Amino acid sequence: MFNWYKQQQAEPTNDEFTTKGNYGLEICHDDDQAVTDIVFVHGLTGNRRSTWTDKSSNVFWPKDLLGNDALPFTRILSYGYDADIAHFWAMTSQNRIGEHAGNLVNALTQLRERTDTEGRPIIFVTHSLGGLVTEDALLYSKNSAEPHLQDIIHSVSGICFLGTPHCGSDHARWGSIAGNLFNAVKTANVDLVNVLTPNSEVLARVQREFHGMLRTLAMDTTSALEITCFFEELPVRGAGEIVPKHSAILPSYNAIGIRANHMDMTKFSSVCDPGYLAVSGELRRWLKKIKRRRDDERFVSHHSN
């Protein structure tokens, strides 16, 4: 009887916290002594697996590389949402960036509540539109009247932006045209593409409020965000540069080039890949700061008692 009770009370496996399909959160790696959540957020037409998987080697690097690369004290998550412009055989999600942002905040908050990990520092790794979704998610958390949803903005520690069009991308206009054509025979989420155009009101609103939040956080050295922007160095064959460097970087923050095009800049097959070394190097440095800060807090708490 006692053994049965212990089994019922056993800690659920990671699979039980991973949603089915391509949407929601997938736990890629979890350290028993994790002190940080690293959350991957894909971009337009991607998903929580394919965006971060090298096609030739089938390496899903958040799990296969990062989870095994002596990066201890982390739980690695990948978030999926419907970011397709149009589907041939199915309905396309009509969610706009704000709805995706809200869903991300709620999914992450619920996972952290279920695993008793509220307050744990969070680092986001984002690609393209996923960077804008993440920015809006932090604003969603900050402006929420619900204390439990505010945990995300209080916990965020750093963001890696990979090819995020902070100032828009002219190529998105072509996507909008394609979306309108698909509308003739099926639904298409053109709003997701329109948000990437340089004159997008949504993009302007997200950037204005996000930069305002960064300035506020910078006034408090304990809350300032670590940010690194990665930009593509190679064009897409037949399409050219998707997100130019001036759009992919944020003034005053570190900027690093990845020698790949917009789609391939998120795909690494080896721990020796220069792009992987650049991204994981930033994560490693931030994790050291988080662990050092935690150890300092424990030291102060121990000696104050």
End-to-end, the C-alpha distance of the chain in Å comes to 41
Given 3-state DSSP classes, what are the helix, strand and coil percentages for the chain, each rounded to the nearest 5?
45, 15, 40
Q: Are 266 and 127 in contact (CB under 8 A)?
A: yes
pLDDT tens digits, residue range 8-19?
Answer: 333 334 566 777
Q: How far apart are CA 238 and CA 257, in angstroms?
A: 21
- In this model, does residue 259 exceed pLDDT 80? yes
The whole-chain average pLDDT of the chain stands at 83
Q: What is residue 78's three-state secondary structure? A: strand
Distance of alpha carbon 212 from alpha carbon 201, whole angstroms:
16
Q: What is the DSSP string of 193-212?
A: HHTTSTT-HHHHHHHHHHHH
Residue 210, Cβ density class (10 Å: 0-12 exposed, 13-18 middle, ≥19 buried)? buried
Q: Is the pLDDT at 124 greater than 80, yes or no?
A: yes
DSSP state of 6: H
How much of the chain exceeds pLDDT 90, in percent? 53
What's the pLDDT at 62? 96
Q: Is the pLDDT of residue 1 over 50?
A: no
- CA dist., res. 194 & res. 169, Å (int): 10
* Region 92-102 average pLDDT: 77
Q: With residue 257 as reference, give the H or E element that holds it.
A: strand 254-258
Which DSSP symbol is given to 90? S
Question: Positive or negative CA dihedral for 189, 53, 245, 132?
Answer: positive
Distance CA 180, CA 13 (A): 44
DSSP letter for 32, please. Answer: T
Please state, in angstroms and rounded to a whole number, the distance separating the CA atoms of residues 205 and 54: 34
49 burial type by CB count under 10 A (0-12 exposed, 13-18 middle, 19+ buried): middle
The 10 Å Cβ neighbour count of residue 167 is 16
Pick 198 or 69 by higher pLDDT.
Answer: 69
More confident position, 157 or 179: 157
Predicted TM-score (pTM) of the model is 0.85
pLDDT at position 53:
98
Cα separations (Å) of 270 from 62, 165, 230, 257, 259? Answer: 11, 27, 18, 18, 15
Residue 303 tokens, joined: 């000696």
Least confident window among 128-137, 171-180, 223-232 = 171-180
DSSP code at position 53 = B
Given a cut of 60, is residue 299 above it in pLDDT? no
Q: Which domains does the chain carry?
A: 15-300 (3.40.50.1820)
